[in-house]
Structure 1
Amino acid sequence: MSLTHSVNMNWKLLIGVLAGLLIIGMFSGSSGQQSSSAGQQSQSRALEASNSVEWKKVDFLELELPANIQELRDQVKITSGKAKFFDQEIFYQTGAVPAGVSRSGRTVLLLHGAAFTSQTWIDKVPTLRTLAALGHGVIAIDLPGYGKSSQASVPDNGEFLARLIQSLAGKQPIVVSPSMSGSFIIPMLANPQYRDLISGWVPVAPVSTGLVASFSSQLLTPTLIVVGENDRSLGNRSKEDLKGLPNATLPQVLPGAGHPAYLDQPEMWHKLLHNFIIKVNQANSAQFMEA
């Protein structure tokens, strides 16, 4: 082999290596951009879906609960269990959809206030049974430090809730967050990478709503605002803080109700949830059809 031919071969090999390194660098550089924009793209899709519903114009009492809802509630079988997060055991309860009831494909995650636990949604107001009777998946948890999770402690409330949703609550659940549980859901929603974990939010006079102002324009999740007429503290504050969210409903005020408004107006509360879940599913169906 001649010296000239050998030099040409070496140059070709060097050029090939450099080209390969350049391509790898281009992909590596773009991967970070793709990752950082993934949340924005996901939120854009959420906006497109949510915009198919004019949330502030919806009558969330339009559809009645089924006439046989009590009979269906009685057929719901409740089971319980424990799951580990941050090496801490968290207690949860869930209800099985009765035989013959069509499943909606939507799960609802029930959080609770400081004076309550997952059992509230069974004993004090039949929300767990009602949602299962309507065909929804439903899971109620005892938050860390409360009820049968009283020994649990987590380092980051928002991260904890995100992990729990990903592990227990199915794909894009609707989250009900009364009072104290705002200290879990709002830190989670403040993190852009977690906003797409849920398809709907039902805040019932939660704490920490003042923090929402810093990211309110970016929070595109359909939000059913619920307050009690007589809750003039957290109720009024949360209503004012949340009503400007892009896909928030008009505040749904439960007549004569106090801070845990669902306890004073259970049937109205369940009708609001029933209609809201239907609208969320319609919005997601519209997105699927357009995709």
Structure 2
Amino acid sequence: MQTCSFNRFRLLAFLFVVGTTLMVYYLLPRILLHNVTSSGPSQGLNMANIKQLTINLTVEKNQKPGLSEIFYRESLPPEKDGESLKPNLEVLLLHGQAFNSKTWEGLGTLNLLAQQGHRTVAVDLPGFGNTPHLEIGKVDKDRADFLLAFLNAVGLQTPVLVSPSMSGHFSIPFLMFQNQRLKGFIPIAPVGTNHYSAKQYQKIQTPTLIVFGELDTNLGLQSLKNLKHLPHHTVFKIPAARHACYLDEPDKFHKALLDFLTKF
């Protein structure tokens, strides 16, 4: 009986030690990570709040103005000592066919840019996310006019425009017709680049970072072929990444994005 009780005691002691070791193993790194985060550069700053907003946008078609609801997400630089900080830059994030503004929130891009001191707006384009389908016209100038109306409605003066894939239907015409409203342009394998000639691209003076994934041999290479005619461009190819390269390699994309923004 004594031997049985002793063995049971040893077993319980062993399980206690194992349990304590596992708790330390799993919890300690999280505690250390929290301490490092709390004592890093963001100390004294509130985390940037991501706001979800809807505006009524006046869209003119055939000379008849009409109100349309446009949904967007916005992040602002965090407050310091209770005061709002003036944004360094403005950034406008568009999205691809299978995505919407929430993609940039989930990826951490909205919060990252706010922490770097930028005002960032991510919009749900017509027919995507929380924005209903809108009759804004089917020609390039109509889509450029829509984007211009959105910028004016939310108070974006000269943003850096980030445009992946499908959103090229809006961003490329905007680059052609309203490039004076852009501080910079970051196309990510956008559609519609073949609608314009090399001569037209060569007239654009907007600083541009052309981004595409190494494995995107369709739109990635096609858009590069056309966009490289922009006189002030650099190219960033993300290794082993597909068409939505910013999702495959978010850290590499974010680093390239932030590096580009430091040039302004």
Give TM-score scaled by structure 2 length: 0.74
Aligned residues: 210
Give the counterpart of 2:218 among 229, 233, 255.
233
CA distance in 1, matches of 2:44, 2:192: 36
- Matched to 1:120, the amino acid is T
Residue 99 (structure 1) aligns with: 79
User: SS of the residue aligned with 1:75?
Assistant: coil
- The equivalences for 1:187-226 within 5 A come to 187-191=173-177, 194-213=178-197, 215-226=200-211
Match of 1:215, SS?
Answer: helix
Shift of 1:116: 0.2
Question: What code does the residue aligned with 2:164 have?
Answer: P
Spell out the pairing of 1:84-163 with structure 2 (5 A cutoff).
Answer: 84-85=56-57, 86=59, 87-100=67-80, 103-123=86-106, 125-155=107-137, 156-163=142-149
Counterpart amino acid of residue 110 in structure 1: L
Report the identity percentage. 38
Q: Distance in 2 between the 1:175 and 1:77 partners?
A: 21
Alignment-mate amino acid for residue 96 of structure 1: L
Query: C-alpha distance in 2, partners of 1:164/1:187?
Result: 15
Matching residue's letter, 1:275:
D
Structure 1 residues 235 and 70 mapped into 2: Cα distance closer, same or farther (>3 Å)?
Answer: farther
Tell me which residue corresponds to 1:79: 51
Corresponding residue of 2:156: 170
Give 1:225 shift.
0.3
Deviations 1:54-101 (A, max 9, x none): xxxxxxxxxxxxx95898998121111111221211100001212239
Q: Quote the Cα distance in structure 2 between the aligned partners of 1:119 and 1:70.
A: 24
**Residue aligned with 2:113, SS:** helix
Matched residue, 1:264: 248
The alpha-carbon distance between structure 1 residues 182 and 170, as it changes in their structure 2 partners (threshold 3 A), is same
Decide whether aligned partners of structure 1 residues 240 and 116 sit closer, same or farther in structure 2, where only a CA change above 3 A counts: same
Cα 1:102–1:206 change in 2 (3 A) is same
Contact 1:91 1:148 in 2 (8 A): yes
In structure 2, the CA distance between the partners of 1:105 and 1:90, relative to structure 1 (3 Å rule), is: same
Return closer, same or farther for 1:170/1:176 CA change in 2, 3 Å cut-off: same
User: Are 2:45 and 2:79, in contact at CA under 8 Å, matched by a contact in 1?
Assistant: no
| Amino acid across the alignment from 1:118 | S
Tell me what 1:26 maps to: none
TM-score by length of 1: 0.68
Select the structure that is richer in helix: 1
**Match of 1:140, as an amino acid?**
A
Shift of 1:190: 2.2
Q: Distance in 1 between matches of 2:85 and 2:192?
A: 37
The 1:153/1:244 distance shift into structure 2, 3 A limit, reads same
State the AA in 2 paired with 1:83.
I
Gaps of 5+ in 2: 1-38, 60-66
- With over 3 angstroms needed to count, the CA separation of the structure-2 counterparts of 1:157 and 1:73, relative to structure 1, is farther
- Aligned-pair distance for 1:167? 2.5
Structure with the higher fraction of residues in strand conformation: 2
8 Å contact from structure 1 (residues 88, 154) kept in 2? no
Which is bigger in relative contact order (C-alpha 8 A, separation at least 6)? 1
CA distance in 1, matches of 2:56, 2:201: 32
Summarize the alignment of residues 14-25 of structure 1 with structure 2, pairs less than 5 Å apart.
none
Alpha-carbon spacing, 1:126–1:81, altered in 2? closer, same or farther (3 Å): same
Aligned counterparts of 1:70 and 1:261: Cα–Cα separation in 2:
28
- Residues 209, 260 of structure 2: 8 Å contact kept: yes
Q: How far, CA to CA, are the matches of 1:240 and 1:89 in structure 2?
A: 36
Query: Pairwise CA RMSD of aligned residues?
Result: 2.2
Q: Which residue is 2:30 aligned to?
A: none
Distance 1:127 1:70 in 2: 16
